[in-house]
Amino acid sequence: MNNPLNRFRLMLDYLAPRARCRGMPLCCSIEVTSRCNLNCTMCDRAKLNRPNRDMDRNLFNDIVDDGREFLELVYLNGGGESTLHPELPAFIERCTRNGIKTQLPTNGTLLTRDLINDLLGARVSQILVGMEGATRETYERVRKGASYDQVCENLRTLAELNHETGNRTSVVVQMVMLGENRHEANALAAQWRIPGLDGVRFKRDERPMAENLPPKPASSVPRRYRCLFAWQGPLWINAAGDLIRHGFGHSDDALCRPAYDETLCEGFPLRDWQRIFNGPEMISFRQNHIDGKFAACGVCETCEAYGPPPQTAWMTFLPGQAWLKLSMHRIERYTRRITFLQSSLP
């Protein structure tokens, strides 16, 4: 729910700075399944060798119900394709009932008319559909195992049904910018300028594990400020209910990816958000950021998602996290126009 008092407390915790917080996290990322039906070139999932697992419905309900007083947004993503979970609409409905906004990233391959109706009926806040190409050749080269024609048909159906319901759900087409698809960015934006869709987002390639994107040496990464995500969230919870150490930045606007083998808390302690967010592991994590000891935080040492200085970072606490995160595609578009950054993009 939108809780301005909690945001204010968390802002003071960040500015003080305090490793033990009086506020609670504003958002979390929940992996409803670790299964996936594709083998995309920009995804590190195949390298991680994780077991396939679906989140238990009771576990999901406990996480969401106990966080309803402070959670403003839940990302339904992780290392798998969320639409594979048969109870996904029920998960979204649970969040909606608790006043929590939801974002659903998907590859779009399983968006049947029935599933779309169920998702829209559950009042999902935003659906992000990955489209890494404006042509069949480029798209299927990146999204290995997917049918370009089928996904285009699914996306048109989603736009049509969303338009019929008054565009209550924000539907965004997202392209991860790669060497093999960058030349089709403008064509993609023109192709999906249709009723029922909210826009096209262009996202940078974020793969620290990719062979063509080797990790940078720590000395070359200008990490200077404590990370907002250690205070705001999202906390990253995998399908087993474990809190992952490096999941803070596994969201649309950050670069660090979860290290699945580095578990912070095994088995989400039900009805105990406070013990997690202010537990010894989290306090130590935030204290290391306060002290500038990023090497002690694993991937944080070479993370490129170094945020703004505290002098300006406090402003991100003012708007609701749901509004801020779900409007990111618009904010980025307007920023490009104002600053002339990435001027080749629409």
Which one, of 212, 169, 173, lies nearest residue 194 by Cα?
173
d(CA 301, CA 328): 26
Q: Residues 285, 288, 290, 294: what is their CA dihedral angle, to the nearest 10 degrees?
A: -110
Is there a cis peptide before residue 319, judged by omega within 30 degrees of 0? no
| pLDDT > 70? residue 187 | yes
d(CA 57, CA 311): 41
Helices (DSSP H) in 165-264: which residue ranges? 185-191, 229-232
* One-letter amino acid of 19: A
> Is the distance from CB of 241 to CB of 235 less than 8 angstroms?
no
Question: Quick one: pLDDT at residue 318?
Answer: 86
Query: 91 pLDDT band (50/70/90 cuts)?
Result: very high
Give the 3-state secondary structure of residue 187.
Answer: helix
> Is the distance from CB of 277 to CB of 22 less than 8 angstroms?
no
| pLDDT > 70? residue 10 | yes
Give the burial string for 275-301 (b: 16+ CB within 10 Å, else e). ebbebeebeebbbbbeeeebeebebbb
d(CA 12, CA 52): 40
| pLDDT > 50? residue 131 | yes
| Share of residues in the chain with pLDDT > 70 (%) | 81
Query: 222 pLDDT band (50/70/90 cuts)?
Result: low
Question: Quick one: pLDDT at residue 310?
Answer: 84
The whole-number average pLDDT for the span 6-18 is 95
Structure tokens at 325: 């995160």
Which one, of 223, 236, 287, lies nearest residue 262 by Cα?
236
Distances, alpha carbon 52 to alpha carbons 91, 125, 183, 244, in Å: 19, 27, 35, 17
What tens digit of pLDDT does each residue of 273-295 get? Answer: 888 888 888 899 899 999 988 88
What tens digit of pLDDT does each residue of 199-220 get? Answer: 999 988 865 444 444 455 544 5
d(CA 32, CA 75): 10
CATH class of the region 4-339: alpha beta
N residues, the chain: 346
Question: Quick one: pLDDT at residue 311?
Answer: 82
> Is the distance from CB of 178 to CB of 132 less than 8 angstroms?
yes
What tens digit of pLDDT does each residue of 226-255 get? Answer: 888 889 988 888 898 887 765 433 333 332
Instruction: Calculate the average pLDDT of the chain.
Output: 84
What tens digit of pLDDT does each residue of 95-128 get? Answer: 999 999 999 999 999 999 999 999 999 999 999 9
Question: Quick one: pLDDT at residue 107?
Answer: 98
The whole-number average pLDDT for the span 26-32 is 94
Which residue did the predictor score with more confidence, 206 or 155?
A: 155
Structure tokens at 187: 């064509």
Which residue did the predictor score with more confidence, 345 or 144?
A: 144
What tens digit of pLDDT does each residue of 52-87 get? Answer: 999 999 999 999 999 999 999 999 998 899 999 999
The pairing of beta strand 101-106 with beta strand 243-244: unpaired
| pLDDT > 80? residue 341 | no
Burial bucket for residue 72 (CB in 10 Å: 0-12, 13-18, 19+): buried
Question: Quick one: pLDDT at residue 271?
Answer: 52
